[in-house]
Amino acid sequence: MAARVNGICVPITVSDMKKGTHSPAISLDARIHKLESLRAIDDLIVDLGRAFDAGPSATALRPLFSEDAVFVIDQYDTLEGREAIAEGVAGNSETGFCWTLHYLVSPRVELFEDGASGQVDFYLWEVATASSGKSYWIGGRYEAQAVADKGRWRFSRLELKADLISHYPEGWREKPASLADA
């Protein structure tokens, strides 16, 4: 994002905002736009985890991706286009993971000077059950590009870089009736 100061285009960076070193000449509107964009991208990450954990839900996934988005799923698959991503991820529950609990944490967002796109990365910690009934721990990170598209932020590119996918032979158990039974 940039602001005009005496007719000169001055870039505003996320690190400037965090350090409080932004120029007082940068407009309040530009600063508010940046904060609103950062918050909307945080919401996009939350919505992604919830869409994955809702089945996954193709309906919940569709609005999170631009029409021409690309989703690289580590070495396993690359899905191209909003519809292919939504249907491909949702369809994976038949042969891949049928239950998941995603923790998407520590997002870092860098908005580009255009104010309508940015680089995003965040960590993944996940517990999952495969359609085979086996339980897994999954950890890694996502690298993404986000764009402001038709009034909301969406992923234009999302790449999972899994560092571990480890079988958990004991499997998940029902929550105990009391903590004394844990």
Name the domain count of the chain. 1
Q: Tell me what pLDDT residue 26 has.
A: 77
What's the pLDDT tens digit per position in 142-151? 999 999 999 9
More confident residue, 179 or 26: 179
Statement: residue 13 has pLDDT above 90: no
Q: Tell me what pLDDT residue 15 has.
A: 55
Structural domain that includes position 105: 2-171
Is residue 182 included in any domain, yes or no? Answer: no
Q: Tell me what pLDDT residue 182 has.
A: 85
CATH code, domain carrying 135: 3.10.450.50
Is residue 177 included in any domain, yes or no? Answer: no
Is residue 180 included in any domain, yes or no? Answer: no
Statement: residue 24 has pLDDT above 90: no
Q: Residue 51: pLDDT band by 50, 70, 90 thresholds?
A: very high
Is residue 151 included in any domain, yes or no? Answer: yes
What's the pLDDT tens digit per position in 88-113? 999 998 889 999 999 999 999 999 99
CA angle, corner 41, sides to 26 and 8, nearest 5?
20
Element (H, E) at 145: strand 135-149
| Sheet of strand 152-168, all strands in order from the earlier edge strand to the far edge | 77-80, 65-73, 152-168, 135-149, 117-130, 97-111
Task: Count other C-beta atoms under 10 Å from residue 119's C-beta.
Answer: 15
CA atoms within 13 A on the CB side of 128: 29
